[in-house]
Each structure stands twice: as C-alpha cells, then as structure tokens.
Amino acid sequence: MPKTALLAGASGLIGQQLLPLLLASARYGRVIALVRKPLPLVHDKLEQLVVDFERLADYGPQLVADDVFCCLGTTMAQAGSRAAFYQVDFTYVTELARQAAANFGGQLLVVSSLGADAQAGAYYLRVKGEMEATVRQTSFHAVHIFRPSLLLGHRAVPHPNERLATLLLKLARPLLLGPLRPYRAIGADTVARAMLRAAEDDGGGIRIHRSDAIAREGRAGALAG
C-alpha cells in the first residue's frame, strides 16, 4: 500500500527540492508538510499542517508517517544567537523525531552536516553531533543521517560569507580528490534525491551518508527518475 511521508523544512534549501520528489513518487499516497505558514502549493497528495515548532508535542497525534524527512536547519548568522540556533537545529529536530517515533514511524531521514561531532570545537558542528547522538536513540526501524558539505542552491537570504565559501569551493572542486572529495560543495537537489533513494531502499539500522556518498546516491536517483 502507498506510504505516508512527513516532511519538516519544506520551504528550506533541501526541503523545497524534496517536496516535489515526494509528491511525484509512487511510493507515497500522502505527504504531510509541517509548515509555519501555508505553502502556495496544491496537490492531491499534499496535506499542509501549520505548526508552532516550539510546541511540537501538541501536534503529536498528527505526526504519523512511515517515512519522516527532517530538513530543518538554520545558520548562526540567520539564527542571530547560539540559543536560537540550538533551538532549531537541536530542539526542533530531536522533538520531531521523538514524537514521530512514538507513533511507530518506520524511518527517519535527517540532514546534519559534514564534520558533525558532539565533541567538536566548533559550536555548529558540536550541536549537529549532539542532534545525531539523540536521534540515534529513537525507536525508528532505520535512521538515515545525511552529512552534506556546503550546499549549493538558491537561498532567499544569502549570506556574504556563504557566497564567498561557495565560490571558493567551486573553484577548488577539481583539486578536491581522494580523501578531500567529501568537501566538494553539493547541490541541494542532489541531497534531496539521495534522501528519497535511501527511503526507497527500506533498509534498517543507523546509516551515515557522507557528502561524497550523497553525491553518488543523488546521481543514481536522477538516473532512476
């Protein structure tokens, strides 16, 4: 029978690429998008659930899905403070995972970051690592953690430092070979395709998808599509 997908972060860089893939997939008969405000999109499969992410527990009974895709995330620059960043990238993500797992969700597919490590010196990477450690403890049949490098794609509010980093990584791409390959910048659309492909595999356990593997999986997903 067709499955239900739940997507958080549908308006973000990866989420806006992933949503149309989920709607087009024969795997899903229903796609629930958790949104702060309604998206300008109508589709027979799409159900938009307007939520206050600070009160996710209030929506617990509605967070029922076979595959839970979490593309929530911000940057330190956008968040404006460490506390605000932590709220989005740790609290929202882990609470969503906890609520959906309690409803017998089968798979969690969550976006983290290259270099995520709960012991990292960099605050951004440390929070991502703490998030990973927490979602690993949930009762999902499978937890897929995606660790992309710098993401390429259209940002509503691009940051000057991100534009510079993107340009430098594009120029350096031919030099990033062997062990440096994971540091190549990667398209948000590639990550989205890799996430859908991982869900379709229906494997179990905890799986870490590094940026270079995400690129391969995303290309394979594009060819399959």
Q: Give φ, ψ of 206 to 5 degrees.
A: -100, 125
Could you read off the pLDDT of 54-63 as tens digits, one per residue? 999 999 999 9
128 is catalytic: yes
Q: Which of 37, 124, 170, 183 is an active site residue?
A: 124
Q: Which of 28, 92, 128, 183 is an active site residue?
A: 128
Sequence-distant (≥ 6) Cβ neighbours of residue 209 within 8 angstroms:
144, 145, 146, 147, 194, 198, 217
124 is catalytic: yes
Q: How far apart are CA 178 and CA 174, in angstroms?
A: 11
Could you read off the pLDDT of 95-149 as tens digits, one per residue? 999 999 999 999 999 999 999 999 999 999 999 999 999 999 999 999 999 999 9
Q: How far apart are CA 94 and CA 128, in angstroms?
A: 11
Helix residue ranges, H only, 103-173:
123-135, 160-172
pLDDT of residue 185: 82
pTM of the model as a whole: 0.89
Decide: 66 and 5 in contact? Cβ < 8 Å: yes
Looking at domain 3-224, what is its CATH homologous superfamily?
Answer: NAD(P)-binding Rossmann-like Domain (3.40.50.720)
pLDDT of residue 133: 98
Sequence-distant (≥ 6) Cβ neighbours of residue 49 within 8 angstroms:
32, 33, 34, 35, 59, 62
pLDDT of residue 77: 86
Could you read off the pLDDT of 138-185 as tens digits, one per residue? 999 999 999 999 898 765 555 555 565 555 555 555 554 556 556 578
Least confident of 3-7, 142-146, 168-172, 187-191: 168-172
Q: How far apart are CA 194 and CA 146, in angstroms?
A: 9
What counts of helices (H) and strands (E) characterise the chain? 8, 9
Strand segments, DSSP code E, in the chain are 3-8, 28-35, 46-50, 67-70, 107-111, 142-147, 151-152, 186-187, 205-210
- Domain boundaries in the chain? 3-224
